[in-house]
Structure 1
């Protein structure tokens, strides 16, 4: 199977005063195309830092990150941004919608950045897929948390990304709303053939993915195949 993401000998440290804090150490794994993959671990274990490096939002101090066959370490910030726009989708815990834009405008942004001529039509279709076809002209402040996360999902899939990174996608939602968002996330992921990488503290959510990477103290504690898939 072809790897879409390969992490080799990854290390990340932060300096605080005279002290060095190692956040990630000796991280090695790969994710194949179309796979669903979870990163779990206690708070402060390095999960979100690892996700940011995998997605090209941050750089490691050593080791390599290869995304869709491209080694990201040597890319400039602009080149990494272009790579993300072309290949990557994001879903965050706090939605990160633009408050001054309507739902449909938020979904259309990635398409417009790529120069898609039918951006608004495609955005409308994606909102319909997440059950918000009648809410396109509402601003984020006029939507519930669950509705905002569904808009964020539609936006994340707008460019039909090869890989989608989701950081605690249900963290700010009640259980019932979170369940619906997770259903939509997996439905869209399967329909569009995207590789899904989740960071979560929710083991029930992690078990819905094919593989689970557990991090403790910045190191890989285990990499197991979920028995629930």
Structure 2
């Protein structure tokens, strides 16, 4: 199976005042296409930083990241943005829906901006898949947290991404709602044949994936495959 993500010798630090804070040390791992993968670890272990680097949202101090057969460090900001638009999906803990757009518009508008003539049709189909056909014309403020995250799920799959990054997708949801969202996430992911990478502190969620990477203090302490 082809590698969709290959990370080699990754290091990342931030400068705070006069202090340099090292966040990630010599990170090496790879993810095969169409697999599910979790990054776990305590708060401050570098999980979200690693996710941002792998998705091309930030640049490392050193090391390389190959995503969808492209070396991110060799791409310009514009080329990086094109790669994300065409190949990558995102789900965030705080949903990040646009408040002035309805549920349907939140899904369809990104597709329309890419020139997809079937944007509204795709949006309606995805809303049906996440069980929200009857909420299509509601705004985020009129939706519960679970409903907002289901809209965010639909939006994440709208551009048929090769790889989907989910940062604490159940972090703001109660356990019952979180379980429903997770079931939907894995269901949609399997149907689409997408690679799924989840950052989570929820070990039960992590155990549903095929590979678990554990971070502690910015270093990999375990890389376990369950397939």
Shared fold per TM-score greater than 0.5 = yes
Where 1:95 maps in the other structure, the secondary structure is: coil
1:29-178 superposed matches below 5 A: 29-178=29-178
Q: Could you tell which deviates more after superposition, 174-183 or 112-121?
A: 112-121
- Write the distance in 1 (CA, Å) between the matches of 2:161 and 2:19: 39
Where 1:31 maps in the other structure, the secondary structure is: strand
- Write the distance in 2 (CA, Å) between the matches of 1:187 and 1:110: 22
| 5+ residue gaps, structure 1 | none
Q: TM-score by structure 2 length?
A: 0.98
Partner of residue 202, structure 1? 202
- Write the distance in 2 (CA, Å) between the matches of 1:107 and 1:16: 37
- Write the distance in 1 (CA, Å) between the matches of 2:39 and 2:90: 15
**1:78, distance to aligned residue in structure 2 (A):** 1.4
- Write the distance in 1 (CA, Å) between the matches of 2:110 and 2:66: 23
- Does 1:193 pair with 2:189? no
Deviation >2 Å, runs of 4+: none
**1:34, distance to aligned residue in structure 2 (A):** 0.3
Where 1:73 maps in the other structure, the secondary structure is: helix
- Write the distance in 2 (CA, Å) between the matches of 1:64 and 1:225: 22
- Write the distance in 2 (CA, Å) between the matches of 1:109 and 1:19: 42
Aligned length: 227
**1:201, distance to aligned residue in structure 2 (A):** 0.1
Q: Could you tell which deviates more after superposition, 73-82 or 196-205?
A: 73-82
| 5+ residue gaps, structure 2 | none
* RMSD between aligned residues: 0.8
- Write the distance in 1 (CA, Å) between the matches of 2:131 and 2:208: 22
